[in-house]
Amino acid sequence: MHIEKLTLYPVKSMAGYDVPSAFCDENGLEGDRRFVVTRPDGKFITARQYPKLLTLQPRWVDGFDRLEIKGPAGTLHVSAHPGEDESAPVPVTVWNDTILSGDCGEDAANWISEFLGREARLKTLAENSSRQSDGNPFVPASYADAMPLLVLSDASVEDMNSRLDSPVTVRNFRPNIYVSGVSSPFDEDYWSSFRAEDVEITIVYGCSRCVMTTADPETGVFRKDKEPMKMLGSYRRGPDKQIYVGQNAAVSRAGVLRAGAEIILGPRRDTPVYSL
């Protein structure tokens, strides 16, 4: 088994892109989910409500100092470090957590508002920002839903597609670490940990899925047949009736992850874990 792809998602709910390597620590892959779109009141906006966000193409430039986002209206350029001329850091709400964030300014707000057809802002992590979450010791200082990393195997995607008339891709599930060479579908349900070169990853619990998986990453439109969630409901429900695909993970030893690196599994679990 090896890492087939490493994927960064610089902006929550926008497209990701593959990288050959990435530094990985308690906050996940460096540069992952460091920006978020919000309502004017600071509540986060995602592709669950606005699936067209998935079609915007963000990419880091100049290391992790600047971001460019390509969309129908052209390319937006923003700094990861809003200057003193912008407003002071303000709290952004991601689910039940808050995280201090800098506002990316009026040009960014106008660009994203025009794209969405509603008033919105673009925010980025404030300097030395932290995130507090009740009952989750692994929560990253980022805009990820709950955990630093998401792991998925090629065997699982192939199994899902064997049950669908119209296939999905790994992009529907947005993992950071896509593993190939796995012997059986959803084998990752039973992993407790793995090592890739010097980096050690702890598998924490399964990832419950939502309507975002039914949005076409190319078009940003929800599928009318509600797949793959309709199909997954027939065999991937946990004891809480949620649908699970992929594994939420944390970093127990930081370092550089590389695409192509061999994965060495730790002890296997007897049963899947569905929550903290």
Give residue-wise pLDDT tens across range 164-220: 999 999 999 999 999 999 999 999 999 999 999 999 999 999 999 999 999 999 999
* Number of compact structural domains in the chain: 2
Whole-prediction pTM = 0.96
Q: Where are the beta strands (DSSP E) in 48-198?
A: 57-61, 66-71, 74-79, 90-94, 97-103, 121-125, 131-132, 149-153, 177-180, 193-196
Q: Indicate whether 256 and 198 sit together in one domain.
A: yes
Burial 53-86 (b: 16+ CB within 10 A, else e): bbbbbbbbeeeeeebebebeeeebebbbebeeee
In a domain, 139, yes or no: no
**Residue 203: domain span:** 2-7+145-265
pLDDT for the residue 207: 98
Q: Which of 99, 132, 165 is the last residue of a domain?
A: 132
In a domain, 17, yes or no: no
In a domain, 19, yes or no: no
**102-111 — which CB contacts under 8 Å span 24+ positions?**
102/126, 102/127, 104/35, 104/78, 104/79, 105/78, 107/76, 108/76, 108/78, 111/69, 111/71, 111/73, 111/76
Question: Tokens 């937006």 label which residue?
Answer: 76
pLDDT for the residue 135: 79
DSSP letter at 141 equals S
In a domain, 84, yes or no: yes
Q: Indicate whether 149 and 242 sit together in one domain.
A: yes
Q: Indicate whether 220 and 149 sit together in one domain.
A: yes
Q: Which of 183, 179, 125, 171 is nearest to 152 (CA)?
A: 179
Q: Indicate whether 125 and 191 sit together in one domain.
A: no
In a domain, 24, yes or no: no
In a domain, 12, yes or no: no
Q: Indicate whether 244 and 155 sit together in one domain.
A: yes
Q: Which of 73, 99, 132 is the last residue of a domain?
A: 132
Q: Indicate whether 68 and 161 sit together in one domain.
A: no
In a domain, 207, yes or no: yes
Q: Indicate whether 185 and 101 sit together in one domain.
A: no
pLDDT for the residue 134: 74
Q: Indicate whether 150 and 217 sit together in one domain.
A: yes
In a domain, 103, yes or no: yes
pLDDT for the residue 82: 81
Q: Indicate whether 238 and 197 sit together in one domain.
A: yes
Q: pLDDT of the chain along its 276 residues, tens only?
A: 999 999 999 999 999 999 999 999 999 999 999 999 999 999 999 999 999 999 999 999 989 999 999 999 999 999 998 865 456 788 999 999 999 999 999 999 999 999 999 999 999 999 888 887 877 899 999 999 999 999 999 999 999 999 999 999 999 999 999 999 999 999 999 999 999 999 999 999 999 999 999 999 999 999 999 999 999 999 999 999 999 999 999 999 999 999 999 999 999 999 999 988
Q: Which of 132, 157, 174 is the last residue of a domain?
A: 132
pLDDT for the residue 33: 97
Q: Indicate whether 152 and 99 sit together in one domain.
A: no
Q: Indicate whether 153 and 246 sit together in one domain.
A: yes
